[in-house]
Amino acid sequence: MKVLFLPDNIEIEIFERITILEASRRAGINLIASCGGNGICGTCKIRILNNVDPPDETEIELLSEKELSENWRLACRRFIKNGIIVEIPLQYRVKLKEKSILKNVDKTILNPKIKKIYFDLSNEKPHYSYSSLIKEKSKEKMLTPEIDFYVFKCIGNFLNTREPKFTGVFCGNKLISIEEGNTSDKLYGIALDLGTTTVVGLLIDLNSGKTKDTVIKINSQISYGTDVIGRLNYLINNESGLEELHIKVINTVNEIINELLIRNSIEKNSVYEICAAGNTVMSHLFVGVSPRGLATAPYIPTFIEPINIRAKEIGVNINPNANIYIFPQIGGFIGGDTVGLVLTSSIDLSEEIVLGVDLGTNGEIVLGSKDRIIACSTAAGPAFECVGIKCGMPAIDGAIERIFFQEDEFKLKVIGNNAPKGICGSGLIDITAELLSNCILDSNGKLKGIDELNNNISGYLKSKISKIDNETVFHIYKDLFNEIFITQEDIRKIQFAKAAIQAGTITLKRELRISDNDISKVLLAGAFGNYIGKRSIQTIGLFSEFPEDKIQFIGNSSSFGAKLALMSIDERKRAEKISKIVECINLASRKDFAEKFIESSTFSLTK
């Protein structure tokens, strides 16, 4: 059976009965499927252009009458038919506009675990063996040199068939590779942020410590669930789930590596180490270890200690004997990305109390100083990243990224300066803040109808309010081809995400028995945290208890932490120390968190 996907014009042949969602995965299309394909979220929308069957009960419940009449269906509910043509518009996919997320990282002394030594053995005669001669010469640079068995197997042939001038590549004290001639100038590593939604790769020159390039890709596991819970459910309910999810993230990482190497004319064998920081579930899936223990209480991971593994053992396409270093985890759902946040921001060295928040799907929060650090993970969901929002889309060309209400009209900033196609996370925060400021949203998050507005609300704003399928919506943009609006359901999702972060923060403050005044600064991390406006996040009630000058954006702390560990053995040791001293606060067992979550669901300030 053949299926054609538009507008990509990708046709694939299927030899078994599978859903369109599974077929799109095989075609390499990252269709949004928030629930992982279980038929409960309604996000995997597709339009079938031929051979259309009537909708089933799930589709009738989750799709509007207009959508159903225009042959929109759910990819997880439709099975492939021969010759079927399927349209998947951009707003129902997860893609990313590639823009630099790099910010300055504090300078650190360059002392990578990977080093090179050039050997000229032309005038040397081994007393016992080539290996003993290499060890003897290596002692000038290190105390107890070792030789990996992989290198033992090729030393004799290598030195007996060519001039004995070569470069040895050492990982710590172990010789992991030998290369003909002097290749000391080619020494590279990659720092990885293994995010739930995106994976970020930084190509690092280990001779200088400079970042040569950055590539960001959507984590292709996205079609198995937009959060780690969805992916855990898929893993549990499918016999091959672990292998599928492992292969998906490895493929994403290899795509990043390939692009970095091609753009910078670097051979894959010149990349000798990867440092990877990610949440606990992602770290397990990357190395192919089951995280099933995190699916149910008491949420015990298989491992939390750092892992060193050869690239070839998990299929990473760099030097096959290169070292892959997986950041240590803190415990439960608080993983290596949180270690990276503490490492990058130096909370563990701070004399003053610092609040660090990663505004991602899992919403990690850290609070403390050198005296004590506590952390929690909140299920904020993907609303901040605009996944599951009615007119939401990723930050690609056509996405509204900023919204300003000026001179009685909305001013839009659109990525690519093109006609708007949807709204991304930062724009969603802006419009929510504007609706609150103009009394179109009440403190409970209700989107008011026209008859509920005060008389002093302008006619322009009133004209933006209508009903679609009996639901009040606020229109942001409309032209002949597209209509962008925010719904009551969208507002509820923002409330949920905001409440999770706010209640988590309050719980940590209570645990340390401190007030807002005791916190010296608020650090917002994550790629999302680079583009939102301070005023907008405070208007919706996030961090409004702090003055603006206390709030700082620190960029992608997970990838920066991985870079620090790649550049310096000392920073790596510090990361491992951080993983042991940070205390996990389990919000699920905290009655006060549940209470504060309910209070924080309003848009009024809750302290």
Per residue in 169-184, pLDDT tens? 999 999 999 999 999 9
Nearest alpha carbon to residue 202 among 269, 257, 246: 257
pTM for this entry: 0.80
Residue 245 contacts residue 285 (beta carbons within 8 Å): yes
Per the DSSP assignment, residues forming a β-bridge with 194 are 199, 278
- Residue type, position 58, single letter: T
Q: Which residue's entry shows tokens 């920081």?
A: 277
Distance CA 461, CA 454 (A): 11
Position 36 scores a pLDDT of 67
pLDDT in tens, 523-545: 988 755 456 778 888 999 899 89
Tokens of 423: 């709204």
- The proportion of the chain whose per-residue pLDDT surpasses 90, expressed as a percent, equals 51
Q: Residue 105: is its pLDDT beyond 70?
A: no
Nearest alpha carbon to residue 565 among 332, 331, 336: 336
pLDDT band at 324 (very low <50, low <70, confident <90, very high): very high
Distance CA 110, CA 567 (A): 6
Listed ranges 9-13, 412-416, 582-586; the one with the highest mean pLDDT: 582-586
pLDDT in tens, 487-503: 999 999 889 889 999 99
Nearest alpha carbon to residue 21 among 78, 95, 84, 71: 78
Lowest mean pLDDT among 28-37, 111-120, 321-330, 463-472: 28-37
- Using DSSP bridges, classify how beta strands 399-406 and 409-414 pair: parallel, antiparallel or unpaired: antiparallel
Residue 295 contacts residue 232 (beta carbons within 8 Å): yes
Nearest alpha carbon to residue 186 among 126, 267, 282, 256: 267
Position 456 scores a pLDDT of 82
Distance CA 48, CA 51 (A): 8
Position 354 scores a pLDDT of 97
Arithmetic mean of pLDDT, 254-263: 93
Query: In which element (H, E) is residue 462 found?
Result: helix 459-462
Distance CA 583, CA 587 (A): 12
pLDDT band at 104 (very low <50, low <70, confident <90, very high): very low
Position 394 scores a pLDDT of 64
Nearest alpha carbon to residue 105 among 345, 298, 373: 345
**Better-predicted residue by pLDDT, 480 or 333:** 333
DSSP letter assigned to residue 414: E
DSSP letters for 520-554: EEEEEESSGGGTS-HHHHHHTTSSTTS-GGGEEEE
Mean pLDDT, the chain, integer: 88
Tokens of 336: 């290596």
Cβ neighbourhood burial of 399 (10 Å; 0-12, 13-18, 19+): buried
- Using DSSP bridges, classify how beta strands 422-423 and 399-406 pair: parallel, antiparallel or unpaired: parallel
pLDDT in tens, 301-318: 999 999 999 999 999 999
Query: In which element (H, E) is residue 126 found?
Result: none
Distance CA 531, CA 413 (A): 12
Tokens of 337: 């990305």
Tokens of 530: 């680079």
Arithmetic mean of pLDDT, 570-581: 97
Nearest alpha carbon to residue 102 among 201, 219, 235: 201
In SS3 terms, 245-290 reads as HHHHHHHHHHHHHHHHHHHCCCCHHHEEEEEEEECHHHHHHHHCCC
Arithmetic mean of pLDDT, 504-522: 95
Residue 522 contacts residue 543 (beta carbons within 8 Å): yes
Distance CA 563, CA 558 (A): 9
Residues 6 or more apart whose Cβ sits within 8 Å of residue 570:
108, 109, 111
Evaluated on CA atoms 156, 162, 166, 171, the torsion sign reads negative
DSSP letters for 99-118: -----PPPP---B-SEEEEE
pLDDT in tens, 540-567: 989 989 998 899 888 889 999 999 999 9
Residue 82 contacts residue 117 (beta carbons within 8 Å): no
Cβ neighbourhood burial of 237 (10 Å; 0-12, 13-18, 19+): exposed
Arithmetic mean of pLDDT, 363-378: 94
pLDDT in tens, 383-425: 777 777 888 876 666 888 889 887 788 889 888 788 888 888 8
Tokens of 341: 């946040």
Distance CA 268, CA 266 (A): 6
Arithmetic mean of pLDDT, 561-583: 96
**Better-predicted residue by pLDDT, 73 or 162:** 73
Distance CA 112, CA 589 (A): 41
Residue 119 contacts residue 164 (beta carbons within 8 Å): yes
Position 278 scores a pLDDT of 95
Distance CA 392, CA 497 (A): 15
pLDDT band at 49 (very low <50, low <70, confident <90, very high): very high
3-state secondary structure of 431: helix
pLDDT band at 519 (very low <50, low <70, confident <90, very high): very high
